[in-house]
Chain A
Amino acid sequence: MVRRSGVLLKKVAAGISSRLAEILVCPLTKQPLRMCDKTNSLISDSIGVSYPIVDGIPRLVPSDGIILHSDQDLNSSDPPQTNSS
Chain B
Amino acid sequence: MAALQFAFPSTAGSRRRPESRSTTRPARCTADRQALFNRIAPVYDNLNDLLSLGMHRVWKRMAVSWNEVREGDTAVDVCCGSGDLAFLLSEKVGISGKVIALDFSKEQLQIAATRQSAQSKACYKNIEWIEGDAADLPFPRSSFDAATIGYGLRNIVDRRKAMEEMYKVLKPGSKVSILDFNKSTSSLNSFSSSISCFFQDWMIDYIVVPIASGYTLADEYQYLKSSIKKYLTGKELEQLAREVGFSEAKFYEIGAGLMGNLVATR
Which residues of A pack against B, CB within 8 Å? 1-2, 4-5, 8-9, 16-17, 20, 23-28, 30, 33, 54-62, 64
**CB neighbors of A among B113-153 (8 A):** 113-115, 117-118, 128-133, 136-141, 143
CA–CA, A62 and B115, complex, Å:
26
- The smallest beta-carbon distance between A47 and chain B, in angstroms, is 13
Question: Does B45 sit at the interface, judged by CB under 8 A?
Answer: yes
Q: Quick one: which of A5, A27, A57, A58 contacts B136, CB cutoff 8 A?
A: A27
- The smallest beta-carbon distance between B131 and chain A, in angstroms, is 4
Residues of chain B within 8 A (CB-CB) of A30 are 140-141
Question: Does B109 sit at the interface, judged by CB under 8 A?
Answer: yes
Evaluate contact between B131 and A24: CB separation under 8 angstroms: no
Q: Quick one: which of B46, B113, B132 contacts A60, CB cutoff 8 A?
A: B132
Residue of A with least CB distance to B110? A9
CA–CA, A5 and B117, complex, Å:
10
Q: Quick one: which of A1, A23, A61 contacts B131, CB cutoff 8 A?
A: A61
- The smallest beta-carbon distance between B217 and chain A, in angstroms, is 13
- The smallest beta-carbon distance between A49 and chain B, in angstroms, is 12
Q: Is the interface of A mostly helix, strand, loop or mixed?
A: loop
The count of chain B contact residues (Cβ–Cβ below 8 Å) is 29
Which residues of B pack against A, CB within 8 Å? 42-43, 45-46, 82, 100, 104, 106, 109-111, 113-115, 117-118, 128-133, 136-141, 143
- The smallest beta-carbon distance between B92 and chain A, in angstroms, is 19
Residues of chain A within 8 A (CB-CB) of B141 are 30
Evaluate contact between A57 and B117: CB separation under 8 angstroms: no
Residue of A with least CB distance to B31? A63
CA–CA, A55 and B109, complex, Å:
10
